[in-house]
Amino acid sequence: MEPIIQIQNVTKTFLGKDNQVEALKGISLDIEKGDIYGIIGMSGAGKSTLVRCLNFLEKPTTGTVLIENRDLSAMSEHELRKTRTEIAMIFQHFNLLMQRNVLDNVCFPMEIVGVRKADARKRAMELLEIVGLSEKAKSYPAQLSGGQKQRVAIARALANNPKILLCDEATSALDPTTTKSILQLLQQINRDYGITIVIITHEMTVVQEICSHVAIIDNGELAEHGTVEEVFTSPKTPAAKKLVFMVNPQMAEMRSKRCIRIVFVENSSFEPVIANMILECKAPVNILLADTKDINGIAHGQMILQLPEDEAVAAKMIHYLEERKLTVEEVDSYVE
| Confidence (pTM) | 0.76
Euclidean distance between CA atoms 55 and 72, whole angstroms: 8
pLDDT band at 313; cut points 50, 70, 90: confident
Mean pLDDT confidence for 72-86: 89
Highest mean pLDDT among 13-17, 67-71, 271-275: 67-71
Sign of CA dihedral 127, 132, 135, 137: negative
CATH of 246-330, one of 3.40.50.410, 3.40.50.280, 3.30.70.260, 3.30.70.141: 3.30.70.260
pLDDT of amino acid 333: 61
Nearest to 221 by CA among 25, 22, 10, 8: 25
**Residue 299 pLDDT > 80:** no
Q: Summarize pLDDT for 217-259 with one digit per residue, the tens.
A: 999 999 999 998 888 878 888 888 888 776 443 443 434 468 8
Grouping H, G, I as helix, E, B as strand and the rest as coil, residue 59 is coil
Chain-centre distance of CA 232, in angstroms?
13
pLDDT band at 298; cut points 50, 70, 90: low
89 phi/psi in degrees, rounded to 5: -145, 140
Q: What percent of the chain has pLDDT over 70?
A: 91
**Cα–Cα–Cα angle for 48, 50, 55, rounded to 5 degrees:** 100
Nearest to 59 by CA among 75, 44, 45: 75
Q: Where are the domains of the chain?
A: 5-239, 246-330
**Residue 135 pLDDT > 60:** yes
pLDDT of amino acid 203: 83
pLDDT of amino acid 20: 87
72: amino acid identity, one letter: L
Other Cβ atoms less than 10 A from the Cβ of 41: the count is 24
The length of the chain, given as a count of residues: 336
Pairing of strands 286-295, 213-218: unpaired
H/E element, 334: none
The better pLDDT of the pair 168, 255 is held by: 168
Pairing of strands 87-91, 221-227: unpaired
Euclidean distance between CA atoms 207 and 199, whole angstroms: 8
Fold (CATH) for 5-239: Rossmann fold (3.40.50)
Beta strands in 202-258 (DSSP E): 213-218, 221-227
315 phi/psi in degrees, rounded to 5: -65, -40
Q: Summarize pLDDT for 10-44 with one digit per residue, the tens.
A: 999 998 778 888 899 999 999 999 999 999 988 88
**Residue 276 pLDDT > 50:** yes
